[in-house]
Amino acid sequence: MTTAQFTLSGWTWNPAVLVTGACALVAYVAAFRDHRRIGWFAAALAVFLLTLLSPLNTLADGYLFSAHMAQHILLLLIVPAFLLFSLPRTLSLAARPRVLAHPLLGWLAGVGAMWFWHAPALCNAAVASRPVHALQTVSLLVLGSLFWRQILAPREQERLSPPRAIFYLFSACVACSVLGIIITFSPVTVCSIYTMQSNDRFGMLQTIRMGWGFSPERDQQIGGLLMWVPMCLIYLTAILAQMARWFAQPASPTAKI
Amino acid sequence: MNEITTVLGRAGLLTAEQREHWKMAWLSTVDHKRIGILYMVTALFFFVIGGIEAMCIRLQLAVPNNTLLHPDTYNMVFTMHGTTMIFLVAMPVLFGLANYVVPLQIGARDMAFPRLNAFGFWLVPLGGILLHFSFLAGGAPAVGWFAYAPLNETPYSSQLGVDYWALALLVLGIGSVSTSINLLVTVLTQRSPHMTLRRLPLFSWMIFINSFLVILALPVLNAGLVMLLIDRRLDTHFFLQPGGSAILWQHIFWAFGHPEVYIVAIPAFGILSEVIPVFSRKPIFGYEFVAGSTVAIAFLSLLVWAHHMFTVGLGHAVDLFFVASSMLIAIPTGVKVLAWSATMVGGRIRLGTPMLFCVAALAQFLVAGLTGVSHAVAALDWQTKNSYYLVAHFHFVFVGLIVFAILGALHYWFPKMSGRMLSERLGKWTFWLMLIGFNLTFIIQHFLGLAGMPRRIYTYPDLPGWGWMNMVSTIGAFFMAAAALLFVWNLAASLLHGKLAGDNPWNAWTLEWAATSPPPHENFHELPPIRSRRPLWDDSNPDRPDPVVGTKWQAETTAPEKNKTAVITFIISESGFFGVLILAYLFYNATPQPGPDTHNLNLLKTGLFSLCLFASSFTIWRSEASLQRGRPRAMAGWLAATILLGGVFILGQGLEYWGLFQSGVRVSSNLFATTFFTLTGFHGLHVCVGLIALLIVLGLALAGDFKQGPSPALKAVGLYWHFVDAVWVLVFSSIYLLPHLR
């Protein structure tokens, strides 16, 4: 199969994903009167659907570790962030039990999601088994939301103050980069299921290996690099946004000094 | 001696009662201003040495087929030149400036830890002596400033030069980390109450960000140096075949080396951000963007080290990612260049000597940045790597930006330090000589590099164009040497006969100019009100003050406790050190190797001893809680239990080591043994240090020191102890548990 053919036929019409998306949209419209931020919700939904239905998903499903990594990042960092943006600004996320609101928990959720799912056994299981894969997808969305909640909660009071937020984001970035570095330079295979040639449902293996030049080693390298470099840039964007938030407070002559 | 005391006294650098013992007054000082000056004088001394080495290089290369220097001597000279200029000149002078200026700018009395400050400084002469002692011990290192493996290993550099080099850098690295921790804690905890972080002058802001970079990057180098020393002294193979990886040294070195470029560049950015507004009579254009882009630069600099390794063969995929991320750095630096330029637009520019140096630094940095971006293109980098094009590029950064900015800063702050103005006439001569000399020397080296001349060759054949271009470069170097001599002369002459400066000769706006010149020991008798980023402007222009920079977050008005902050920053830097050691362990043990391996370890026994260590985290927590509740006796009891449990753990480690020795496992047996002993050994060392600290606290407790209530000392030691335990969780999992999961 050529790349062009694959782009057209590599879509998966996963009913569970479509139903979830539709339900989420209905729930959003029903739950909130204020629809001014529905654009963010649409963006979250679009990224969610594209991640799980497009050829990227097909590639991640047994062909390419790097495609899996891209999915992982989109589900953990992009979709939850857009979701939090879409919430009306008056909504309080002050959670009970209060432990859910603790920054350490958020940090561990974001970093843990990365490390946990890249233990070789779990990484393979998520590709080999449907239920584990579904569990992975859901957990990434939930853990990502817990992570971003500290930064992007709709109410200003429920977010970390900018200096703390920057420290939170920077340390999370370092913790994930270390894993990215390990995966990039590891002499052993992290997710061995991607190196097996048996499961070539689309007849794409030839194109991927020869045409695209993705040898298994390079595939793992790119996966690691995706986690190391572009993911850090997402954190960097968030850090710069925090700087902007910090400096944005308007100067008032009556401000207490 | 009388003349010296008279001069120092006249310049306000000695008080009347110190004249008798002026040497001790300076050698034993813990005053941040004196330590700052000591840093700068030391850097000036090594600048002369490094400069002489540079002149040797240029003389040797002046004509083709020159025989002035022996090839081996030439290798030593360029290695020492690079190492000296970076570690003994650029970093100390910037730490010196930061030491002098930051506490004044934030309205503090001194640094947070004056004695730690003195310790950090005295490590610089020690490191310098260690490095130069190699000349007497069989020859200086001749491996280049980054000492690539395996050339840095015993079979290829059998003399002691590299050992002294590594030891010196280790000492200097520890000094840099301690000074940076001090600066960080000073900015966080010693600010005058109204000097919020958002009102910080840009120089202090950049030193603040820069200190983070130092405590993150230097420990990486320290870990690499430790591994190198173990290789050389204990016959192991971290970076040497069979088994070792020379590439790992490059990763470690550049993971430090790339941030290092910014560690010396960011303070220079800070200098430009102070001098250019003052001499343009305008506030800085886009304070927020200059401050924010510094964060972006610091962040990115930690991310992109692999662009120094395009020619190593890491693979196209790796290259591609680092091409892209390296180019991104051009954006925040471009923001800065635009902000400084926009500050000058429409200003009433006074071209005093400090401003001349800073404007030249700005222009030259632009060239350095452009050639820098060209190196980010892997394909171009393959052609120009290790040619004089690269030499020209980094000298445009280190001299064109950093040395020019430092000279600007010294002309700018000298009146504050000495109470006397530098001669403006000599200063302008220095500037023009320096400008002509620098550009003569280094512009032409771009073309030499493009013509194919490689760096680090002791001589070259008489190829068309090479001879005269090198001659031009050498002539330029002499202009720079003349400028340096003139500058030293200016310093000496102005200290003796300079015009009196007054408190604020430049009509500047930051707090250091509110103190007298030189400032009294306690810095300020009274601070002007601080509502904005230019308190002295507000003070002298009450009818049109700057807009107030508000305080929104509580964290801005309450300073954290300094001991706790210091331990947290120390822990951050130690995490970097252990991170490298753990990564090295994982890397070398990813595939099994012949010889001893984890089967030689006793999981059960060590697991039990580990439980003792983990339990000690609980006991120290109880100890703190007891003190909180005002029960010092219970606190001492829990503390003793902690020490006991820690001691048992160390004993267990001893047993593990003993068992390994019994079965013939040595540190040099294979890479498993090497990495195992290195990692657990350094952890054990930290446990021992923690135990000593705990014993001191226990001694204080028994002496009745903590009867007044909660103590920051116990809290700080407790944090450190938790950290040691947390590291052991990682080490234990990596070494003992991981093999069982496979």
Residue A4 within a domain: no
pLDDT at B159 over 70: yes
Task: Tell me the torsion sign for CA atoms B628, B632, B636, B638.
Answer: negative
Chain A: residue whose CA lies nearest to B196: A257
The arithmetic mean of pLDDT across residues B646-664, rounded, is: 94
Query: For residues B672 and B243, what is the distance between their CA atoms, to the nearest angstrom?
Result: 10
* Cβ contact, residue pair A182, B547, below 8 Å: no
**pLDDT attached to residue A93:** 83
Query: For residues B299 and B209, what is the distance between their CA atoms, to the nearest angstrom?
Result: 10
Q: Which two tokens stand for residue A212?
A: 């695209």
> Nearest CA of chain A to the CA of B711: how many Å?
25
pLDDT tens digit sequence for B495-531 = 989 999 999 999 999 999 999 989 999 999 989 999 8
Instruction: Identify from A229, A237, A245, A252 which residue to disrupt to test chain B contact, counting B C-beta atoms within 10 A and taking the largest count.
Output: A229
| CB half-sphere exposure, A157, CA atoms < 13 A | 5
- Mean of per-residue pLDDT scores for chain B: 93
Residue B3 pLDDT class (50, 70, 90 cuts): low
Residue A256 within a domain: no
Higher pLDDT, A248 or B690: B690
Q: Which three-class secondary structure state does DSSP give residue B454? A: strand
Q: How big, in percent rounded to 5, are the helix, strand and coil portions of chain B?
A: 75, 0, 25
pLDDT tens digit sequence for A106-124 = 999 999 999 999 988 899 9
**pLDDT attached to residue B711:** 81
pLDDT tens digit sequence for B68-83 = 999 999 999 999 999 9
Q: Which residues of chain A have pLDDT under 70?
A: 95-96, 197-198, 249-257
The arithmetic mean of pLDDT across residues B569-598, rounded, is: 93
DSSP labels, B669-713: S-HHHHHHHHHHHHHHHHHHHHHHHHHHHHHHHHTTTTTTS--HH
Residue A255 within a domain: no
Q: How many CB atoms lie within 10 A of CB B81?
A: 20
Residue A161 within a domain: yes
Q: Above pLDDT 70, what percent of chain B?
A: 97
pLDDT at B10 over 70: no
**pLDDT attached to residue A257:** 39
Residue A116 within a domain: yes
Residue A253 within a domain: no
**pLDDT attached to residue B2:** 64
**pLDDT attached to residue B592:** 84
User: For B325, which of A229, A244, A249 is closest by C-beta distance?
Assistant: A229
**pLDDT attached to residue B18:** 73
| CB half-sphere exposure, B378, CA atoms < 13 A | 20
Residue A20 within a domain: yes
Chain B: residue whose CA lies nearest to A237: B296
Q: What residue numbers bound the domain in which A139 lies? A: 9-246
Q: Dihedral, CA atoms, B340, B342, B347, B349, nearest 10 degrees?
A: 40
Domains and CATH numbers, chain B: 1-30 (no CATH), 31-190+198-517 (1.20.210.10), 557-741 (1.20.120.80)
Chain B: residue whose CA lies nearest to A161: B553
Amino acid in position A189: T
pLDDT at B226 over 50: yes
pLDDT at B552 over 90: no
Tally of domains in chain A? 1
- Specify whether the CB–CB gap between B243 and B237 falls below 8 A: yes
pLDDT at B707 over 80: no
**Which residues from A are below 8 Å from B550, CB to CB?**
249-252, 255-256
**pLDDT attached to residue B734:** 93
Residue A3 within a domain: no
Q: Which three-class secondary structure state does DSSP give residue B387? A: strand
Chain A: residue whose CA lies nearest to B212: A167
Residue bearing tokens 């028994």 = B702
Chain A contact present for B317, CB below 8 A: yes
> Nearest CA of chain A to the CA of B257: how many Å?
17
User: For B299, which of A185, A186, A236 is closest by C-beta distance?
Assistant: A236
- Specify whether the CB–CB gap between B275 and B358 falls below 8 A: yes
Q: Above pLDDT 90, what percent of chain B?
A: 84
Q: How many CB atoms lie within 10 A of CB A13?
A: 7
Chain B contact present for A157, CB below 8 A: no
- Specify whether the CB–CB gap between A90 and A153 falls below 8 A: no
Q: Which three-class secondary structure state does DSSP give residue B420? A: strand
Q: Which two tokens stand for residue B520?
A: 């009294």
Instruction: Identify from A64, A218, A219, A243 which residue to disrupt to test chain B contact, counting B C-beta atoms within 10 A and taking the largest count.
Output: A243
Query: For residues B437 and B51, what is the distance between their CA atoms, to the nearest angstrom?
Result: 13
**Which residues from B are below 8 Å from A233, CB to CB?**
325, 328
pTM for the full predicted model: 0.94
pLDDT tens digit sequence for B398-443 = 999 999 999 999 999 999 999 999 999 999 999 999 999 999 999 9
